[in-house]
Amino acid sequence: MRRIFVEKIEKILNILNEEIVPAEGCTEPIALAYIGSKLTTLLEGIPEKIEIALSGNLIKNVKSVKIPNSEGMVGIEAAVALGTILGDSKKDLMVISNIDKTKLDKVKQYLDAKKIVATKIEGNTKLHMRATGFLGKDKVTIEIKDYHTNIIEIEKNGIIIKGDSCDEKITDNVMTDKDFLTVELIYNLAKEIEIDLIASLFERVIKYNSAIANEGLKNDYGIGMGKTLYEGMQEGVYGKDLKNKMISFASAGSDARMNGCSMPVMTTSGSGNQGMSASLPIIKYCKEKGLSQEKLIRGLFFSHLTTIHIKSNVGRLSAYCGVVCGGAGVAGALAFLDDMPLERINSAIETTLATLSGMLCDGAKSSCATKIASSVGMAFDSYYLSKKNKKFEYGEGIVGKNIESTLSNIKVLAQEGLRKTDEVILEIMLNN
């Protein structure tokens, strides 16, 4: 392995371990459960009252998605209450996994008593929440920014608690810098990285994400995009081709996850839907093609790291639908698995982005599965177009002079162009 890769490998592994983590349920309501559980821990008892303020994008992604292990509960107050009453914050984004469902009545009583008051935080930070809990004479405030479990400050009874005194990791930047990432670097690393360095992580991705996809294919969840497409293939409505199998498998996982399934997934860039988008089509493709386990893991490495690279340009939460990033990662990974040259891989990624970048995020819910279906379908088409040397040219819409220029254009589109769109979407949702 060349020296340049050796120098960067530690950063790459840190990024993978930070960005690809297990979570049960949609990460935004789980983050609310996490902060609620932290309040209970620091107050050494269930708060008598909680005041929580959230950024608009958090509100958007919590409003409609079902919370796992809750018997169908939805909403800000329900997520906070579940974590407050039954959660274990030591489990991070698995905070409400394995909860005692016989105690859900206590959560409902807490909600009925209107002990939680939620408001909106104004400002430009997309992922931002501040929760204050009261118990007797004690008062604790916890603030989270940028990442779902990134506590930047804890205050108890007017005193700022820092570091080891509360067993917290408090910092303004807990994530490894990603500015050095390029598609070319990811491509070269995917070919040359020692497989033992990444195998265990991606074996967990395969295990967790395949399990929830199979669950979505077997049982009815939400709109049932994955299962319905699968049934249509058996009935002859759809062809039993590779593309449809990939779409069905990937969207079934989202069907289950967005509609209360308690099975965990391996997330990517803070999102289970992105994690499933980046992984499930590659898993299905490799299985159908009979590719080796090592080839599968290298394909997953390429897909996930490319998704992370694109998503770091978009931002953690945005009106720009995150599964488009996953779809672009898949398009490039399919080309990589087909041993296509870097130029064709870049074209596959760009075609996906140039086609789907108008897909909007209007909150986490059942339609995430249909958006995954669209992203995976376009990813396959983009890969095959590139295989046939078909591509968009520089200057056609948002396509730049090269792949990194295109990603810079995506950054401007997502962070600046869609800012007002984000506000309008939230306004529509809150007024529905």
**In the chain, what are the domains?**
22-166 (3.30.1330), 183-431 (1.10.4100.10)
Predicted local confidence at residue 383, as pLDDT = 98
Picking from 29, 420, 380, 22, the residue whose alpha carbon sits closest to that of residue 203 is: 22
Buried b (16+ CB within 10 A) or exposed e, 285-307: bbeeeeeeeeebbbbbbbbbbbb
pLDDT tens for residues 374-424?
999 999 999 999 999 999 999 999 999 999 999 999 999 999 999 899 889
**Mean pLDDT of all residues belonging to the chain:** 91
Q: Pairing state of beta strands 138-145 and 151-156?
A: antiparallel
Is pLDDT of 84 > 80? yes
pLDDT tens for residues 110-135?
999 999 999 999 888 888 999 999 99
Is pLDDT of 4 > 80? no
pLDDT band at 3 (very low <50, low <70, confident <90, very high): low
pLDDT tens for residues 50-68?
999 999 888 888 888 888 8
| 224 CB-near residues (< 8 Å, 6+ apart) | 255
From CA 2, how far away is CA 31, in angstroms rounded?
Answer: 40
**336 φ, ψ to 5°?**
-65, -45
Report, as an integer, the average pLDDT of 282-299.
98
Predicted local confidence at residue 2, as pLDDT = 57
Picking from 179, 220, 118, the residue whose alpha carbon sits closest to that of residue 309 is: 179
User: What is the share, in percent, of the chain residues with pLDDT greater than 90?
Assistant: 72
From CA 155, how far away is CA 133, in angstroms rounded?
Answer: 11
As a whole number of Å, the CA-based R_g of the chain is 21
Predicted TM-score of the model (pTM): 0.86
Helix (H, G, I), strand (E, B) or coil at 394: coil
| 313 CB-near residues (< 8 Å, 6+ apart) | 407, 408, 410, 411, 414
pLDDT tens for residues 218-232?
999 999 999 999 999
From CA 66, how far away is CA 73, in angstroms rounded?
Answer: 6
pLDDT tens for residues 5-39?
677 898 999 999 999 999 887 788 889 999 999 99
DSSP state of 337: H
Lowest mean pLDDT among 156-165, 233-242, 315-324, 389-398: 156-165
274 with 364: CB under 8 angstroms? no
130 with 53: CB under 8 angstroms? yes
Which amino acid makes up residue 143?
E
pLDDT band at 170 (very low <50, low <70, confident <90, very high): very low
53 with 118: CB under 8 angstroms? yes
Predicted local confidence at residue 270, as pLDDT = 83
C-alpha 163 chain-centroid distance: 28
From CA 97, how far away is CA 263, in angstroms rounded?
Answer: 9
How many CA atoms, within 13 angstroms, populate the side-chain half-sphere of residue 312? 19
Report, as an integer, the average pLDDT of 282-291.
98
Written as six digits, the tokens of 130 are 């501040």
Is pLDDT of 165 > 60? no
pLDDT tens for residues 239-268?
999 999 999 999 999 999 999 888 999 999
Predicted local confidence at residue 169, as pLDDT = 41
Predicted local confidence at residue 166, as pLDDT = 41
191's enclosing H/E stretch is helix 183-192
From CA 229, how far away is CA 50, in angstroms rounded?
Answer: 44
C-alpha 108 chain-centroid distance: 28
Picking from 307, 313, 340, 339, the residue whose alpha carbon sits closest to that of residue 326 is: 307
